[in-house]
Structure 1
């Protein structure tokens, strides 16, 4: 009987993998971060900079990005007393040593705290420190676009991968282009051919 159940599991796994190859149902989401909060411009920039994908917040998420953090959620998780299913997933992610990023721009209590007494500010700081001890990282994201304020094109690992998939095998880079650190690693790893050309003033 045990062998039969094992066989059913193997067959089910193979069917899911075969379906995934054709329909994308069973895809490896090792880069997917679950998002807690709204999809803001700051969140989009963070995801682009870190070259991760966004997914629905779940137990299977590789990590968590928090784009909106209320004072209540901050305090409950700091005290390990989550109330909502999403808060439980965040706390589990911290306990399982998954990456948890809090976008500083999304701290909803920032303006409130500025007006508060020192004792309140101290409690909030203690709660943030507790999150950091759990492994959370508070990050500040500066908004830029694919071409930044100086009209410099940004080359990312993702853009290189897409171009490789289209058959491109050689690139030209000028002074007016920015190559991200992950893209540089990818270039070395894949030994891609790059021609560096200096812009004429």
Structure 2
């Protein structure tokens, strides 16, 4: 092997090493989420959307330590699972992981389209249907966010859901009324029409520069929402 061939070989080795290091660095920079499904039942639309936003998607078959995930996602939630989780019952692997994640304070999401009982709203006995609605409300009070795909990505990326600039002093967005207080030029949010206030909503409000919210005395504020408000000094007034 002459000097020219040796230089060429060394150059190729260096380039390959740099490529490997770059790939490892990119993988390390990506954040992970856990979708509570087996690999063969993962929703391709959900998985592709998460991967497109630079998330590594794990499933039940290869899940790691729960603390390593930015979010834990319930792709589907059957009626029995909803009832069990509302009462803190551990049956399936999925239920055990969700209950442990609640105890750990992990971010938990349930995809709205995957909530089974909602499909029977038009046919079910109303009292029976409302019983499952109460189960869902319980899970929301435990900190589980029921979201669409867009809301999921925005919450994981810590981006506000409402991005439009207000064009007037009073603007209604997603059932949230924004009112400007003329005396000090600050703003507050009126959430008195909300039965349940989630961490996602408070994060969205905070990212818009709002420092104060008004809620009903009967409103349920999730534990994650209370933690977020306390850490970020977001004032919550009950009216």
- Using the size of structure 1 for normalisation, the TM-score is 0.51
> Between Structure 1 and Structure 2, how many residues are aligned?
122
Give unmatched runs, 5+ long, in structure 1.
1-20, 143-156, 158-201
Distance across 2 between alignment mates of 1:129 and 1:29: 35
Say which of 93, 96, 103 aligns to 1:95: 103
Structure 2 distance, partners of 1:30, 1:48, is 10
Equivalent residue for 2:130?
122
Larger RCO: 1 or 2 (CA < 8 Å, sep 6+): 1
1:129-144 pair list within 5 angstroms: 129-141=137-149
Deviation at 1:30, TM superposition (A): 7.6
Deviation at 1:109, TM superposition (A): 2.5
CA contact (8 A) 1:33 1:65 kept: yes
Q: 1:110-141 deviations in whole A, cap 9, x for unaligned?
A: 22343111111211111111111111100012
Counterpart secondary structure, 1:82: coil
Stretches of structure 2 lacking an aligned partner (at least 5 in a row): 1-20, 151-156, 158-239
The alignment yields a C-alpha RMSD, in angstroms, of 3.1
Instruction: Say whether residues 1:60 and 2:65 are aligned partners.
Output: yes
Q: Which runs of 4+ in 1 moved over 4 A?
A: 27-30, 48-51
- The answer as to 2:40 corresponding to 1:32 is no
Q: Radius of gyration: which is bigger?
A: 2
Deviation at 1:51, TM superposition (A): 4.2
Instruction: Compute the displacement of 1:60 (Å).
Output: 1.2
Q: 1:44 to 1:85 in 2, by over 3 A?
A: closer
The SS at the match of 2:116 is: coil
